[in-house]
Amino acid sequence: MSNNYGNQRSEQRVIIDRKYKFEILLKPKEKSKYRRFILKCILWNIASKGIGILIKKNERIINHLTIGKIIKVRYYDNLTDIPKPFFQADIRHVSPSQNPKYKDYVQVGMLIIKNQKQA
């Protein structure tokens, strides 16, 4: 089964398909404090303007990820465990993975809004 996400992109993405530790900060409500989630995800693909990750369906964060929500994200280098800088992202889609290899995962596509030095 194919999807049309690739046809909607303005640039080609690089397939990574590797597990990383991610840190995601989100505000459940506008005036609340950020909630911090640290979890293992699969970095599926990446481009200069977007990123796609796969998150296990049973992770607590899934219920908080909605289209249009702005979140702060960073991932950690697998060799050194040093975090990359945070970037701000707009969630564009949250959908079940179409890949049989990742049937227990949800695919989250994000538009990178801006890179940040600190959260």
Cβ–Cβ < 8 Å for 105, 42:
yes
**Helix or strand or coil: residue 67?**
coil
Query: pLDDT digit string (tens) for 45-83?
Result: 999 899 999 999 999 999 999 999 999 999 999 989 999
Q: What is the number of structural domains in the chain?
A: 1
Q: What is the pLDDT of residue 4?
A: 43
pLDDT at 110 over 70: yes
pLDDT category of residue 115 using cuts at 50, 70 and 90:
confident
> How far, in whole angstroms, is CA 66 from its chain's centroid?
12
Give the CATH number for residue 39. Answer: 2.40.10.220
CA 105-108-113 angle, 5° bins? 160
Query: pLDDT digit string (tens) for 81-99?
Result: 999 999 999 999 999 999 9
Q: What is the pLDDT of residue 9?
A: 58
Select from 25, 12, 79 the least CA-distant residue to 52.
12
- As a whole number of angstroms, the distance between CA 7 and CA 93 comes to 14
Q: What is the pLDDT of residue 117?
A: 56
Cβ–Cβ < 8 Å for 75, 83:
yes
pLDDT at 8 over 80: no
Cβ–Cβ < 8 Å for 70, 89:
yes
Enclosing domain of residue 74: 5-115
